[in-house]
Amino acid sequence: MQQQITQARAVLADLKRQIAVARSQVDFVDSASLVEVNEQLILSALQSQTKAEEAESAFGELSKSYGVDILTQLANRVQFHERFAYAIASAQRHGTRVAVLFADVDGFKGINDTLGHRFGDEVLKHTAHCIANSVRDVDFVFRYGGDEFVILITDVAQASDAAQVSRKIAAAVACPFTVNDRTISVSLSIGTCIYPDDGIDAAGLMHCADAAMYEAKRLHARELDL
């Protein structure tokens, strides 16, 4: 599917180049011929554009159905419950702990409102990349929705280990990055809870992590006011 999108876009780009060439040769062809050529090229371009958009839309729907977030390429909610259940079952079997980290981008609505949604998308991709590179291959990272991310840290020996991972993620995300010649840095509020210390099922653990995240956000806001 991705190959079809790429091919359709290549055809569209080629047609646009042909239109530009035809227009540049206006002194060498009669007006009627130029109009006819332009009409044919524009029609072909519109058809190719439609095919590219249809292919991209289909690819997006296919990605969602397989549990992949199209923007960040992280697992999404489709995979969340299955992998959460797997992590808990594995912890029960081996007598280990699982840390649940619930992360939210601070001030994300303001970023979207002032800099635009495309800039906001780049912030989300930056955040996803930093989180994914801050954990191990055996851990799970999800885009839970909007600017929210959930991280499952497996085989946690003690609560302080989860806190250390949380600090590592926050530090990585806070590194300044550049989008369209504009440099920005963002921060995360992260709430942490531990299975089985703080809950024994997904619903209870998520509620606990969500509450901890909002408490972290409240404390962060207070620090900014001081």
The catalytic residue positions are 147
* Element housing 93 (H / E): helix 77-94
Tell me the three state secondary structure of residue 81: helix
Looking at residue 12, its amino acid is L
CA distance 140 to 80: 9
Token pair for 211: 């509450």
Token pair for 155: 């085989």
What does the buried/exposed string (b/e) look like for 144-180 if buried means 16 or more CB atoms within 10 Å of the residue's CB? beebebbbbbbbbeeeeebeebbeebbebbeeebebe
Token pair for 31: 């007006």
Tell me the three state secondary structure of residue 135: coil
Cβ distance 4 to 61 under 8 Å? no
Cβ distance 84 to 202 under 8 Å? yes
Q: What is the CA radius of gyration of the chain?
A: 24
* Alpha carbon 55 to chain centroid, angstroms: 20
